[in-house]
Amino acid sequence: MQMSGAQMVCEAIIAEGVKTVFGYPGGAIMHVYDEIYKQKGFKHILNRHEQASVHAADGYARATGEVGVAMVTSGPGFTNAVTGLATAYMDSIPLVVISGQVPSQLIGTDGFQEIDAVGISRPCTKHNFLVRSLEELPRVLKEAFYIARSGRPGPVLVDIPKDITVDIGDFEYPDSVDIPSYKPTYKGNKRQIEKAVEAIKLAKKPLLYIGGGVVLSNAYELVREFVEKTQIPTVETLMARGVLGAKNPLLLGMLGMHGNYASNMAMSETDLVISLGARFDDRVTGKLSEFAKYADIIHVDIDAANIGKIVEVDYPIVGDVTEVMKKVLEQMDDIDTDRYEAWRNILKRYDELHPQSYVDSDEVIKPQWAIERIGELIGEDAIITSDVGQHQMWAAQHYPFDRPRQWINSGGLGTMGFGFPAAMGAKMAFPEKTVVNVTGDGSILMNMQELVTAAEYKIPVINLILNNHFLGMVRQWQTFFYEKRYSETDLSFQPNWKALAESCGGIGYDVTTKEEFDAAVKDAIEQDKVCFMNVIVNRFEDVLPMVPSGGALFNMMLPQKIDEEGK
């Protein structure tokens, strides 16, 4: 069929089953936008900043497991999208970002709004393409979606010169992809899996350590079955919250810098780490020489480069968690769960000794209370996104996550400003679900222009601003490690949040008491409009426990209450 390059882009998006595209037009991508105007196959959301478009597509991808699509123009349109690409790259999120480029004959001349997009995005995409001819466009689009979602997923950039979107040629969207140099490994090595199973059966203190790869691989049911069958205690990384479900008695909690006591002690004392889709990030391991010091390590990862990168691995298994766990489960029928009984009891005692806790107050709202409360009010079905900082950690620690893809946050790159647009992406994918962005008074301002977008398209996400008038996480480090010199972290000067939200077509709430909190949440759900919920919380609240950067996991700063009771 004869059509323009711009039409091919739209046809490919439709063929890939994408329902919502987020973007922002401009000179080099105008021809594609002209086709978007004419088509009916997908909806386009006009964000008010390209960064937000990519984060929204990212939120859509994380909530659904499908490829998210964003579209931007050349030059500044593309450079604004870079933070979004890097965010998705660090968390292995499947995205296809389509950017306009100056016409082919202008490339290399420093043309208006020309920038080397493939050059800039090379280190923050899984792969990228500069389309050289109309003939290769259908194949490139097909490969972009395939590469984004297969193997270890990631963002792919397709940079299309304007003339190629104008030219008319033959379009046949390929059914399949054949890239001889790209063949991801899904099935784990049979012999290695057998050895790992053997090690699990011989261990006395095994610990299941699950990461974002379990979410990406949609392996949570298999992992839950494994835990049920083996009764092995489990820790989750920030990216894996919800995989096991908060109610599961074998879930110790989150580990790492802000992990709970039992989780970090478990990692310090285990004799066998079973790592599934986790990559031993420095925020998880703390001081490497003390990390899992007494343990052998089984490492299942689809990306061979993750294995042996940080820690020495005894049982490397390159493969998809789903495929590997299927084989592991087949060999688990004769498992003796009593074998780990003593170990479970030790960990139970650790958790009783120092549970995840905080001191509540009647005078001021504690941020942890706000998280727990919203968990009670909106239930297990909601989707929670977050920005980056203290509020993110409190949400990860205290929200009762019950399923994967319920918790959406920028873990690897730690991008402030991610939460609001990501929440919009998730809400577009699941309009029937309540979507809350847990944010802070610092982060929210980094993409607050999206109030306009959310109001225009009626994307009713709740922005729960835990407002401590500080860049709280930096402030916390300044308190602990910089002798309370609060350099550039005091946010006492604030916008009128309610008026700000209202001026953009949303709703604002100012909340200072628990009663007001409940009322605001109830009203926000009923009103079904985008809102800023400005919750004034305890100013100097710290995220605890905390393992100081570079310290051993077992050296935690613990909440005050626990210390007092310990005495």
Task: Enumerate binding residues for other proteins (CB under 8 A).
Answer: 118-119, 122-123, 126-127, 130, 132, 147, 179-182, 303-305, 308-309
Which amino acid is located at 455 in the chain? A
Phi, psi at 145, each rounded to 5°:
-65, -40
For residues 77 and 99, the answer to whether their CB atoms sit within 8 Å is: yes
For residues 556 and 405, the answer to whether their CB atoms sit within 8 Å is: no
Classified as helix, coil or strand, 174 is coil
Which amino acid is located at 78 in the chain? F
Which residue number, 180 or 550, has a Cβ lying nearer to other proteins?
180
Residue 291: DSSP 8-state: T
- Could you list the beta-strand ranges (E) of 411-506: 435-440, 462-467
Instruction: Please tell me the distance from the alpha carbon of residue 137 to that of residue 143, in angstroms, as a whole number.
Output: 10
Residues recorded for the chain: 567
Which residue number, 14 or 120, has a Cβ lying nearer to other proteins?
120
Which residue number, 182 or 481, has a Cβ lying nearer to other proteins?
182
Instruction: Please tell me the distance from the alpha carbon of residue 256 to that of residue 398, in angstroms, as a whole number.
Output: 15
Smallest distance, Å, CB 304 to other proteins? Answer: 5
The alpha helices in 91-189, defined as continuous H runs, are 117-121, 137-149, 162-166
Q: Which two tokens stand for residue 550?
A: 């570079």
Which residue number, 106 or 558, has a Cβ lying nearer to other proteins?
106
Classified as helix, coil or strand, 374 is helix
**Torsion on CA atoms 64, 40, 421, 59, rounded to nearest 10:** 10
Which residue number, 130 or 160, has a Cβ lying nearer to other proteins?
130
Smallest distance, Å, CB 275 to other proteins? Answer: 17
Which residue number, 149 or 354, has a Cβ lying nearer to other proteins?
149
For residues 250 and 231, the answer to whether their CB atoms sit within 8 Å is: yes
Which amino acid is located at 364 in the chain? V
Residues designated catalytic: 50, 112-113, 162, 473
Report the DSSP pairing between strands 272-276 and 315-318.
Answer: unpaired
Smallest distance, Å, CB 157 to other proteins? Answer: 12
Instruction: Please tell me the distance from the alpha carbon of residue 224 to that of residue 231, in angstroms, as a whole number.
Output: 10
